[in-house]
Amino acid sequence: MDTETIAFIRKCVKEGKILWTYHVNMRLVGRFISREMLLSAVDSFEIIEAYSDDKYLPGYLVYATHKTQVFHLHIAVDRDSDNVRIVTAYRPNQDKWETDLKTRRKA
């Protein structure tokens, strides 16, 4: 695991250095995931995939838990501006993910 990146993501979230994309704002409502859930899950964040070649900024798929609920966050990291961007959030399902909900199923 990239400990430096996850530490940066957690720090930004805890300090409120978050930009919420239009996309995630639309998705949270329909997926019954609240911002409060995402923020309170910060200590459970775990990077499960890295997308260094994302269009604008390096992106990471983050596994998170809030109480008994599991969700994934796509987070773009902007180290130069000292913030993170929450791109989207969703609840993983076992059609696409192994039982640990951290490993993609092979197609």
Q: What percent of the chain is modeled with pLDDT above 90?
A: 83
Domain range summary for the chain, segments of one domain joined by +: 3-90
Per-residue tokens: 75: 């987070």
pTM for this model (two decimals): 0.93
Give Cβ neighbours of residue 74 (< 8 Å, ≥ 6 apart): 59, 60, 61, 62, 86, 87, 88, 89
Residue 1 has what pLDDT?
58
Q: What is the pLDDT of residues 7-36, one digit of tens each?
A: 999 999 999 999 999 999 988 888 889 999
Residue 7 has what pLDDT?
98
Q: Does 3-90 carry CATH code 1.10.3470? A: no
107 has pLDDT over 90: no
Q: How far apart are CA 48 and CA 82, in angstroms?
A: 22
Q: What is the pLDDT of residues 28-73, one digit of tens each?
A: 888 889 999 999 999 999 999 999 888 889 999 999 999 999 999 9
Q: Work out the angle at residue 91's Cα, subtended by the Cα atoms of residues 81 and 42, and round it to the nearest 5 degrees.
A: 40
